[in-house]
Structure 1
Amino acid sequence: MSTPPPPSASGAFEDALERAVDAQRRGVLAAGAAVRLVGAALFLTISTALWWMGGMDWAPYPPVLALYLGVAALLFVLRRRPQARWLGVVQAPVDVALVYWLQHVAMPISPFPSGVAGFSLGLFSLVVALSGLTLRPSVVYGTALLSALAQGALMRQAGVGWGAVAIAVVALVMVAAVSHYGTGRLRQLAVALTRVEVDRALEARRFQEVEEARQTIERMLSDANARNAELQALQRDKEQLNQFLVHDLRSPLSALTMTLSWMEQELPPGKGVLSDSVRTGLAVTARLDRMISDLMDVPRLEEGRLEPRRVPFRVDRLLEEVRSSLEGAARARKLTLDVAAPEALELVGDSELLVRVVENLASNALRYTPTGGRVRLEAGVAPECRWLAVRNDGPPIAPETRARIFDKFVQGEAEKDSRRGYGLGLYFCRLATEAHGGQLSVEDTPGWPTSFVVRLPA
C-alpha cells in the first residue's frame, strides 16, 4: 500500500488556520451562550418584578423569557460541542423573532407604544452584536436585515414616522458593520497567530529532519568505518596468509633449486640427457618462483606500491630466458617455441617484471595452442614505442572477450570448462605493463590467429 505524500506548507497552513478559526469560533460562541443565559435571566427577573409591581404591560414577558432562558441554558451546556456552531447560527434569527413577537404583543397593551418601539431598537442591536460572535459575515448582515425589517414593522405599528424608521435601520446596519469589523480583526489575528505557529512548527520539523538526517549520516559513516576496519583487518590477514604461504612454498622450492644446482655442477660437462633434465628442472623452479612472486605482486600493483626498477637490458636475452624456462613444456606438447628479436635491441624497465609478463603470456599461448602448433616470442621497434609480442596459431580470441580478458578473475570459456587457472595471470600482465606506462592488448596479425602485444614507451 502506497504512503500518502506529506502535506505541503500551504496545505498545513490552511489546515492550521481552519483549526485556529474554529477554536476562536467555539470560544466566542461559548461567550455568546453565556451572555444570552445571563441576559435572559436578568430580563426575566426584571420583567417579572415589574409585572408583580402592577405593570400589566409586562405580563407577556415572563412566560416567553422563561422558555428562552431554558433554550439559552441548553445552548450554554452544548457550547463546547460541534453542534454549538450550527445552534449559534440558528439562534440569531430565533432572537430576532423572539424580540419582535414580545414587542408586538406588548405594544397594544402598553401606554407608551413609541417607547416600546424605541426599546426594541436596543434589543435588536444586542441581537446583531451577538450574531457577530459566530464569526460569519453572512450571519451578521442577515441578522441585521431581519432586525431592520422587524424594527421598521414595530415602529410603523407604533405610528412612528418613516424618518425615524430610516435612522433605526441605519443604526442597525452600522452595528452590523462594527460587528463585522471586529470579526475581521479577530480573523486577522487568528491568521497572524496561526502563521507564526505554523512557521514555528515547520521550522521545528525541518530542524528535526536535519537532525535525523545528521544522525542517519553519522550512523552510516560509523557502519562504513566499521566495515572498512573489518576489510582492512581481512586485508592484513590475507597478506599475512600470503606471506606464510609464500614462505612455506619457497622453502622447499629453494631446497630443490639448490639440489638441482649442485647436480648441475657435479655432472660432467656435456649435453647428456641428465644434464638437460637438470637444466630444465632449474628453469621450472625459476618459473615457479616467478609465479609465486606474481601472487605477491598483484596486490602491490593494484595499490600502486610496486614501482618498477628502470634499468636498460637486452630484449633478446629476456625472450631467450623465457623460451628456456618453457622449452620442456613446449617439447612435451610437440610445439615449436622460437624467438624473433633484434640482437642489439634494448629496453629500459624492470626486467624481472617483464620476464614474468612474457612468461605468463607464453604459458597462456602454450596452453591454447594445439599439438604440433607454433608459439613465437617477438620484439621490435615502432615510431613511438618498443614492443614485445607473444603469438600463437591456436584458436583466436572472440571479439567480445578481448575487452575484458585482462580483468581480474576473468577466464576464457576453455579455462572455465577445464577449471584451469584463476584469472590472475593476464591481470598481472596488464598491471605490470601499466606500471611501466605501457599498454597490453590483443591484436590481429597476419599469419597468427592470436597475438598478445606489450607496447612500452620508447
Structure 2
Amino acid sequence: MDSALGWTHSSFDDSLARAVDAQRRSVLGTGAAVRLVGATLFLILTTTLWLTGGEDWSPYPLLLVPYVGVATVLFVVRNRPEASWLGIVQSPVDVALVYGLQHLALPISPFPAGVAGFSLGLFALVVTLSGLALRPTVVYGTAALSSVAQAALMREAGVGWGAVVIAVVTLMMVAAVKHYGTGRVRVLAVALTRAEVDSALEARRFQEVEEARRIIARMLDEEHEKNDELRALQHDKELLTQFLVHDLRSPLSALTMTLAWMEQELPQGHLHESARTGLAVTARLDRMITDMMDVPRLEQGRLEPRKVPLDMGRLLEDVRRSLENVARARKLTLDVVAPRTLALHGDPELLVRVVENLATNALRYAPTGGRVRLEGGTDAQGAWLAVRNDGPPIPGELRARLFDKYVQGDQERDNRRGYGLGLYFSRLAAEAHGGTLSVEDTPDWPTSFVLRLPTA
C-alpha cells in the first residue's frame, strides 16, 4: 500500500511538472509572438511618424530594431528547453527597452509629462507579459524594476511624488492581478493533472485486475487439467492394483490350498510343522496384499472398521505364532506379555494386520539374538497394544514423518525392501478406530510402537 501511495505521489508530481512545463512553453510562445508582433508594429509606426516629420519619434527605431531581432530569436526557440530561461531574461530586457526609449524621448518631446505618463502603460504591458513565465517571482520582480524605471522617468519629467506613488501602486496592482491569473492557471493545471493521474491509475488498476483475472483463469484451467490427469492416473493405478492383486492371489490361493492339504495329510513332525509355517506365511502375504487394497479406502474414509469384542492376549498370541519361525530363523526372542482376560473393541482383521506390520518391522530391525515383545494393557487413556524391540532407536528427525506414505528407514532403503506402506497403513487403521499410533520412549526398550484405542 505504501509503495502504491508513493508511486501515486511521484506520478502526480511528475505529471504536474510536465503539465506546468507544457503550459509554460505554450504561454512563453504566446509571449514571444506578442513581443515580436508588438515590437514590429511599434517599429513600423514610429518609423513612419519619424519619417513624416515627427522628430521626437527618432529615438524609437534605433532601439526597436535590435529588440525586434531579440524577439525574433525568442519566437524561433519558443519550443526548445532554452526558452524557459530566455523568457525570464526577456522581462528585464523589456523594462530596459521601455526605459531607454522614454529616457531618450523626454528631452526632445514638447510634452515630457505626457511621455512619462505614456511610459506607465508600456510598463504595465511589460508586467503583463512577464506573467506568461508562470513564475510569481518574475512577475513581482518585473513590477519592481518597472516601478523604479517609471519613478525615474516621472521625476525626470518633473512629475510630483503623489503621481509617482500612484504609478508604482498601479504597477504593483497589475502584478498582483497577473499573479492571481498565474495561480489560477496553476490550479487548473493541478486539477487537470490530478484528473489525468486518477484516470491513469484507474486504467492501471483495471489493467492489473484484468491481468490478475486472466492469470487466475489460466491457473485454474491448468489446475483443472492437472486434476483431470491425476484422476485418470488414480483410476489407472487402482485398475493396475486390482489386476496385480488378482494375479497375485490366484497362485497364492493355489499355494494356500496345497499347504492346507499337506497339513491335513501329513503326520505330526517336521514336515507337518513346515506346512503350518507355510500357511502362516501365505496368510501374511494375503494380508499384505489386502493392505495394498485397503490403503486407498482408508485414505478416502470408505473403509469402516467392523468393531467387535476381542481378546487382546489371544490377538497378540496369534501374531506371535505367525511370526515364530521368522524369529527363530534370526535367533530372536519373540514373546507376549498381556492379560488374556483383557477385552478390546475393534476390527480383528485390521488390528491383527496392524500388530503384524509392527512386529515384522521390529523383527527386521532387532539385532541377531535380540528381543521383540508384543505387549498389551490399559491405562487412564484406554487400552493399548505395544510392539517393542532392542534394535537401534529411531532418529528424532525421522519420528515426525515415520508414519507418512512411502517413508522408509535407512535399512529398508539400503536393502531396497518394502515400499513404506506398512506403517502408513497401520496409522490409517488406528485412526479409523479413533485411536493413535506413535513411537514412545520406554525404559529398557530403544524402540516402542504403541497403538492406543479408545474404550468401548
- When normalised by structure 1's length, the TM-score is 0.92
Q: Distance in 1 between matches of 2:440 and 2:400?
A: 11
Instruction: Find the partner of 1:342 among 325, 336, 339.
Output: 339
The corresponding residue for 1:107 is 106
Q: Is 1:405 matched up with 2:373?
A: no
Q: Distance in 1 between matches of 2:79 and 2:369?
A: 105
- 2:192 is matched with 193
Confirm whether residue 430 of structure 1 aligns to residue 392 of structure 2. Answer: no
Corresponding residue of 2:449: 452
Question: Aligned equivalents of 1:280 and 1:202: distance in 2?
Answer: 81
One-letter code of the match for 2:64? L
Deviation at 1:389, TM superposition (A): 2.5
- With 386-395 and 174-183 compared, the bigger mean Cα shift is at 386-395
**Residue 274 of structure 2: which of 273, 277, 287 is its match?**
277
Q: 1:299 aligns with which of 285, 296, 300?
A: 296
Q: How does 1:356-375 map to 2 (within 5 A)?
A: 356-375=353-372
Shift of residue 403, structure 1, vs aligned partner: 4.2
Q: What's the CA shift for 1:337?
A: 3.1
> In 1, distance between residues paired with 2:430 and 2:375?
16
Whole-angstrom distance in 2 between the partners of 1:166 and 1:384? 106
C-alpha distance after superposition, 1:409-428 (max 9, x if no partner):
33334334433333322222
| Range with bigger deviation, 66-75 or 26-35 | 66-75
Flag the 1:393–1:84 CA change in 2: closer, same or farther, 3 A: closer
SS at match of 2:107: coil
Within the alignment, does 1:172 sit opposite 2:171 as a pair? Answer: yes
Aligned pair count reads 453
Flag the 1:144–1:257 CA change in 2: closer, same or farther, 3 A.
Answer: same
The one-letter amino acid paired with 2:188 is L
Moved more, 368-377 or 185-194: 368-377
Letter in 1 for 2:295: V
Cα gap change, 1:159 to 1:366, in 2 (>3 Å): closer
Distance in structure 2 (CA, Å) of the matches to 1:444 and 1:69: 104
Rounded Cα–Cα distance in structure 2 between residues aligned with 1:241 and 1:123: 103
Question: How far apart are residue 364 of structure 1 and its match?
Answer: 1.8
In structure 2, C-alpha distance between the alignment counterparts of 1:72 and 1:438, rounded to whole Å: 98
1:381 to 1:69, Cα distance in 2 relative to 1, 3 A: closer
* RMSD of aligned Cα (Å): 2.3
Separation in 2, partners of 1:196, 1:238: 61
In 2, distance between residues paired with 1:253 and 1:318? 24
Tell me the SS of whatever aligns to 1:347: strand
Change (3 A) 1:141 1:321: same
Deviations 1:203-241 (A, max 9, x none): 222222222222222222222332233222222222222
| SS of residue in 1 equivalent to 2:109 | coil
Look up the match of 1:218. Answer: 217
Structure 2 unaligned spans of 5+: none
Paired residue secondary structure (1:180): helix
Deviates most, 368-377 or 173-182? 368-377
SS at 1:411's partner residue?
A: coil
- What secondary structure, in the 3-state scheme, does the structure 2 residue paired with 1:108 have? helix
CA spacing shift, 1:450–1:75, aligned 2, 3 Å? closer
Counterparts in 2 of 1:14 and 1:395: CA distance versus 1, 3 Å = closer
Deviation per CA, 1:8-48, whole angstroms, max 9, x where unpaired?
22222121111111111111111111111111121122112
Partners in 1 of 2:170 and 2:395 — Cα distance? 102
Give the match for residue 73 of structure 1: 72
Quote the Cα distance in structure 1 between the aligned partners of 2:373 and 2:21: 94
Give the letter for the 1:207 counterpart.
Answer: F
Report Cα offsets for 1:55-100 as digits up to 9, x if no partner: 1111222232222222212211111111111111111111111111
- Equivalent positions of 1:6-405 (< 5 A) are 8-265=7-264, 267=265, 270-398=267-395, 401-405=398-402
Residue 383 of structure 1, CA deviation: 4.0
Alpha-carbon distance in structure 1 between the residues aligned to 2:215 and 2:146: 65
Deviates further, 91-100 or 45-54: 45-54
Q: Residues 365 and 142 from structure 1, CA distance in 2 versus in 1: closer, same or farther, beyond 3 angstroms?
A: closer
* Counterparts in 2 of 1:65 and 1:361: CA distance versus 1, 3 Å: same
Aligned residue for 2:387, secondary structure, equals strand
Task: Name the CA distance, whole Å, in 2 between partners of 1:44 and 1:360.
Answer: 115
Query: Given the superposition, is the C-alpha separation of residues 116 and 338 from structure 1 closer, same or farther in structure 2, using an over 3 Å criterion?
Result: closer
Counterpart-to-counterpart distance in 1, 2:21 and 2:448: 86
Counterpart-to-counterpart distance in 2, 1:17 and 1:403: 61
Which range moves more in the overlay, 274-283 or 5-14? 5-14
CA distance in 2, matches of 1:388, 1:158: 124
Paired residue type of 2:35: R
Measured in 2, the distance between the counterparts of 1:174 and 1:371 equals 112
State the Cα distance separating 1:407 from its structure 2 match.
3.1
Alignment partner of 1:407: what SS?
coil
Give the Cα separation in 1 of the matches to 2:155 and 2:25.
38
